[in-house]
Amino acid sequence: GSNHDILISCQSGLVVLWDYRPLKFINHVINFKENIKTFQFGGNNRIFTMTSKGNLYADFPGGNLSQLVFSDPSFADYSFITVHDAFSLIAVGNSMGQIKICRLIDGENVNEVIVPSFENKIVFLKFTNNRDLKSCYLHASNPCGEIKIFRIVPKHSLLKYEEKYQLETGTPTSMVTCLDTIYINDIFTVAFGNGKGYIILYEFPCQGNGAKLLHIHAHVNSFCTAIKFNKNTLISCGKDGLINIFYQSYRGHYKLQKVMKSCQKFEWLAGIWSLKNDSLLIVGFHGYKFCLYDPVNQVMHLKIPCGGGHRQWCCSIEEFLNFELTFKEFDHGLNVKVAFLKRKNIEYFETSISKLQKGLNITSFTHCKEIRCTRYLGVNKSDDLHIFSTAGEDGLIKIWVFDSQKMKARLCTSIANHPSSISAMTSYELESNDNHCRFLLVTVGGRSSIFIHKISFDELSLSSENLIDSLKIKLVKSISSVNDPECEVDAYLDVRATTLDLLKQENSIFILVGFSNGIVKIYTLFIPNFYVELHEQFFPA
């Protein structure tokens, strides 16, 4: 396209050409025959929707089929949804104080459990991560401001839970409205915002049973809509349009460091996203429009007409990287998904925001999530057409052709065999007797996945079109580590291949793979039949 077009590959599998001068949106409407009670974004671009009949559905925007997760009439009159993407968990609370936790694998509800928590309805639910990476926390609250924290452990055949803490906010007539957690110096800190503008902090030492309680009156005559830990600072937003930044002193106290009043023109603020470069984005509603606002630079990134914040809504913001061909500079971008409730429909918007300066001509390799690895694969005889591959957290392998004469890159193809993110990638050039360059591309990643592809292209191709036409890709082998039945935590979620190397032998190749559980395995790949066998494995001492 022109110098103002950016090629974006979305998590849904779409490839979008985005003109970043006039902002363009991908817009979908999900229609339901049942009345919608609540909905929430989940992983893999899904939207989970609870209806008035007690049915929980999983939908893909733009798809035609709604997948029923469960049906339970006790969740028909009221429900509150939260999602944990990494463990594929969904928690739904009802008016009787019950929480149903479901675990999905490949879209199927493999097991579920009912957690009795309160005698009245659940008004707040949120998952947060545990430091051991083998479990997570589920925080629940009722209208009286009481809080319970459960530790959830995904097992092979069931979901195990235990109640860790039972807390009070100190303001029994005010409901919890927002929450965040952090580990600092072996202290687990939980911060709650409530409807009277207070932030309540509980600090739990990892060694010991005592808990320290702190109160901060952050927003006077208003309520906290969002709070966020960012290293040693705590950031809060309120319906008063103020952003408060609290700094933690060496004694552990939080002191007000800065108040940003530039957002007071918003009708109200609703959410905080902290990005990888420590910058902030604020979700706000301004003139019946959903907005993303940069409070430091006082820049509004996008406006989506939605009818105002009184409608049910949910938002998901993911960072991706534009990877420049020089391998020297990275440019962050955002993939933004917003959904609003409109009668029996969910109106869904998706767009991407790049931080590229206007008019800047740049050639990029683009993934919707972080790029983990790149590999130079080969060049044609004229040294003008270069083949690259990129892989990352989105689980995709992308093959690119770069024309050094025209200074343009083209996407040849995307390979989507990996079930989770890719950790490492390497290649090996095979011997060839004709004008075709042949090599093996080996990738490893989450869920112990190892994939071997055979790729070839015509070295005599004089144009990127001819080279792409000659490109042939074949999956020759996929390897999956055998799950250990003695492992307490589900190895399906826990063990991932993290490191990779190749060693050439006379008629074979050794593939060395390291896993996150400390095991190193050596596979033998025999050429030319591509038969693979486990040669040896080493266990941690």
Split the chain (541 residues) into runs of 10 and give each run's mean pLDDT: 45 43 57 85 82 88 75 92 89 93 79 88 92 89 90 80 84 83 86 90 78 84 89 87 86 84 75 75 83 80 73 77 39 73 77 48 49 77 78 82 73 79 88 81 87 87 80 85 44 70 87 88 88 87 64
pLDDT at 3: 42
pLDDT at 280: 79
Per-residue tokens: 391: 């892989």
Q: Are residues 323 and 381 in the same domain?
A: no
Q: Are residues 239 and 158 in the same domain?
A: yes
Within 366-414, residue ranges assigned H as helices are: none
Total domains present in the chain: 3
Host domain of residue 244:
27-283
- The answer for residues whose C-beta is within 8 angstroms of residue 73's C-beta and 6 or more apart is 53, 54
Q: Are residues 442 and 492 in the same domain?
A: yes
Q: Are residues 335 and 400 in the same domain?
A: no
pLDDT at 488: 43
CB atoms closer than 10 angstroms to residue 164: 14
Q: Are residues 502 and 448 in the same domain?
A: yes
Q: Are residues 151 and 288 in the same domain?
A: no
DSSP type of residue 234:
E
Q: Give the CATH number for residue 212.
A: 2.130.10.10
CA nearest to 217, candidates 232, 199, 201: 199
Q: Are residues 36 and 175 in the same domain?
A: yes
pLDDT at 364: 41
Answer yes or no: pTM beyond 0.85: no
Residue entry with tokens 């008004």: 123
Q: Are residues 378 and 512 in the same domain?
A: yes
DSSP type of residue 189:
E
CA dihedral sign, ordered 42, 495, 370, 388: negative
